[in-house]
């Protein structure tokens, strides 16, 4: 096939049929909306919409790409002048669902990053969603929040730390001669022959890998730039050598090598598309207390309700010399040339304390520890729900109250769900269902289909509620993945691809994933085969030059 027919098949057969499949799913189930906006290589502002819902064909909770649309067209000068405002972004979302008659009553959650146009208190997408969908659950992406917390805390560190990481990478990046010379120093120091990494301009959490690599290569780097400093007298070499001989810089790098994984591991965990929302609150509490215990009194942390802990309360700080900053830092401080330098230690301790204080203050600001939904959603964890130590008279009414769009506050339905919850931990659940405690969505799906004797599905109401609650959006990582795919599809050599063509490529990729096939053994459905007609493939009123680009 040539480009015209290929594009037509992607758009009007595979893409169209897959979109119709998604629409049928969303018309009959509760779902959450995730959205983000970005600008592609052709300087077109695009809004991505992802839906998170329970797919009964797959038996899993999934995040599926739903639509990629232009926030404003190039000839729409009014909207272009306004930009990606909360109103324009909301209009894109509303239009996407209204045009194909997907009821907004099915929307139970909305998730996005924390920018003002998305999550502002007034005139944002979130404020408009609250107006149009009363009782909707609004979630700010926890991954974006953790990234911002770390970025804000890193501002207290000397700029020389980041400059060192960038300068070392730049020094070797474009010179094979220097790289080959450096290998000799690595072998002399018995250090693994690894390349230096480039710190990202926009992702501070990627700095951990850079920091770890620099610490690993510190000795060969020191010897290499000492030689360059003495022989070639390059300005950049002198600058790097000066930083490598600064004990404060090394202490800070050792501190970062200990503290940054606490953010990166949490961030990586919540980027998962699997159901991890039940663990969100406990992991945030654990990490928050871990950071607090490094510089605050343990008695204060243990006795104060977590949402009332004030990281800026200096009266509850422990002495700087008693702060825990990692084993590597403790070993480095024991060295005589550092232990005897009180001014150096005071400067380092102050910066480390400020880093921890700012990080904890930002976490408290961006994550609501007092939110009842955050703490109660873990009740939908199968391990908690089936626990024998759970009180027999326990109730999930507090969780039912904060998710009104799942129950519509119907008293009869609420009572059925609560009765089934109270019965569950004393019920003899079949082994094949209990084997799925690590996969909440699979567990609840199998439980919803459980039929015992003459009883008609004794846990169907509870299971359906659980599957809806677990569909809430804990992070916005799936939207970021879509934009990564867009950047791989629309490159410099294919910069004329229209948004609807890119969308069709994304739909085709998703269709193959759902069917668990590859592009080689992909089998089109009967609906797709029936759609392969001339009238469906080609729009006679469309100029092919602009409608069918190279694919």
Segment 7-36, tens digit of pLDDT: 899 999 999 999 999 999 999 999 999 998
Asked whether residue 481 carries a pLDDT value surpassing 60, the answer given is yes
Average pLDDT on 42-63 reads 90
End-to-end CA distance of the chain: 11
Question: In this predicted structure, what is the pLDDT of residue 541?
Answer: 52
Pairing type for strands 31-39 and 45-55 reads antiparallel
Asked whether residue 181 carries a pLDDT value surpassing 70, the answer given is yes
Mean pLDDT of the chain: 88
Q: What DSSP assignment string belongs to 281-350?
A: HHHHHHHHHHHHTTTB-HHHHHHS-GGG--TT-GGGBPPGGG----HHHHHHHTSHHHHT-HHHHHHHHH
Question: In this predicted structure, what is the pLDDT of residue 220?
Answer: 93
Question: In this predicted structure, what is the pLDDT of residue 179?
Answer: 92
Asked whether residue 457 carries a pLDDT value surpassing 90, the answer given is no
pLDDT digits (tens, 9 = 90+) for 105-122: 999 999 998 888 898 888
Q: Which helix (H) or strand (E) holds 32?
A: strand 31-39
Q: Which pTM does this prediction carry?
A: 0.88
Distance CA(152)–CA(165), nearest Å, equals 18
Alpha helices in 62-158 (DSSP H): 77-82, 86-98, 116-119, 125-132, 142-154
Contact at 8 Å (CB) between 255 and 350?
no
**CA-based nearest residue to 107, from 121, 90, 124, 88:** 90
Which of 34-38, 414-418, 452-456 has the weakest average pLDDT?
Answer: 452-456
Asked whether residue 550 carries a pLDDT value surpassing 50, the answer given is no
Residue 543: band (very low, low, confident or very high) from pLDDT cuts 50, 70, 90: very low
Average pLDDT on 162-167 reads 89
């Amino acid at each position: 096939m040539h480009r015209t027919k290929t594009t037509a098949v992607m758009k009007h057969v595979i893409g169209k049929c897959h979109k119709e499949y998604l629409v049928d799913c969303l018309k009959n189930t509760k779902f959450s909306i995730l959205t983000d906006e970005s600008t592609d290589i052709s300087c077109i502002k695009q809004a991505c919409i992802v839906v998170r819902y329970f797919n009964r064909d797959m038996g899993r909770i999934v995040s599926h790409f739903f639509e990629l649309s232009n926030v404003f067209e190039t000839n729409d000068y009014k909207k272009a002048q306004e930009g990606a405002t909360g109103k324009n972004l909301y209009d894109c979302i509303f239009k996407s669902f209204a045009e194909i008659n997907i009821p907004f009553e099915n929307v139970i959650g909305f998730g996005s990053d924390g920018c003002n146009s998305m999550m502002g208190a007034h005139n944002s997408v979130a404020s408009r969603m609250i107006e149009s969908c009363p009782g909707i659950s609004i979630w700010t992406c926890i991954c974006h929040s953790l990234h911002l917390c770390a970025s804000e805390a890193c501002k207290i560190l000397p700029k020389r730390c980041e400059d060192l990481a960038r300068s070392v990478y730049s020094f070797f990046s474009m010179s094979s001669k220097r790289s080959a010379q450096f290998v000799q120093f690595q072998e002399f120091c018995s250090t693994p022959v690894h390349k230096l990494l480039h710190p990202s301009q926009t992702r501070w959490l990627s700095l951990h890998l850079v920091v770890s690599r620099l610490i690993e290569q510190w000795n060969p780097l020191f010897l290499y730039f000492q030689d360059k400093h003495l022989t070639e007298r390059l300005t950049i070499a002198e600058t790097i050598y000066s930083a490598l001989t600064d004990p404060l810089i090394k202490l800070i790098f050792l501190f970062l090598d200990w503290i940054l994984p606490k953010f990166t591991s949490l961030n990586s965990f919540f980027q998962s598309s699997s159901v991890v929302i039940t663990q969100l609150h406990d992991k945030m509490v654990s990490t928050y207390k871990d950071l607090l215990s490094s510089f605050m009194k343990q008695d204060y942390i243990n006795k104060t309700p977590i949402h009332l802990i004030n990281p800026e309360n200096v009266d509850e700080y422990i002495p700087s010399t008693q702060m825990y900053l990692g084993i590597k830092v403790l070993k480095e401080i024991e060295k005589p040339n550092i232990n005897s330098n009180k001014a150096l230690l005071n400067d380092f301790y102050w910066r480390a304390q400020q880093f921890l204080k700012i990080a904890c203050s930002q976490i408290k600001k961006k994550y609501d520890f007092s939110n009842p939904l955050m703490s109660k959603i873990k009740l939908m964890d199968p391990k908690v729900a089936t626990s024998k130590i759970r009180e027999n008279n326990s109730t999930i009414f507090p969780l039912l109250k904060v998710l009104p769009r799942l129950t519509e506050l119907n008293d009869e339905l609420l009572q059925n769900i609560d009765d089934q919850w109270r019965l569950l931990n004393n019920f003899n659940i079949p082994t094949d269902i209990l084997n799925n405690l690590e996969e909440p969505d699979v567990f609840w799906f199998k439980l919803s289909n459980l039929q015992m004797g003459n009883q008609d599905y004794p846990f169907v109401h509870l299971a359906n509620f659980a599957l809806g609650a677990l569909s809430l959006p804990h992070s916005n990582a799936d939207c970021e993945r879509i934009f990564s795919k867009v950047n791989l599809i629309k490159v410099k050599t294919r910069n004329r691809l229209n948004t609807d063509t890119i969308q069709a490529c994304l739909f085709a990729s998703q269709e193959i994933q759902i069917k668990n096939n590859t592009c080689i053994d992909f089998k089109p459905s009967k609906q797709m085969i029936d759609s392969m007609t001339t009238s469906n493939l080609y729009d006679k009123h469309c100029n092919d030059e602009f409608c069918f680009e190279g694919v």
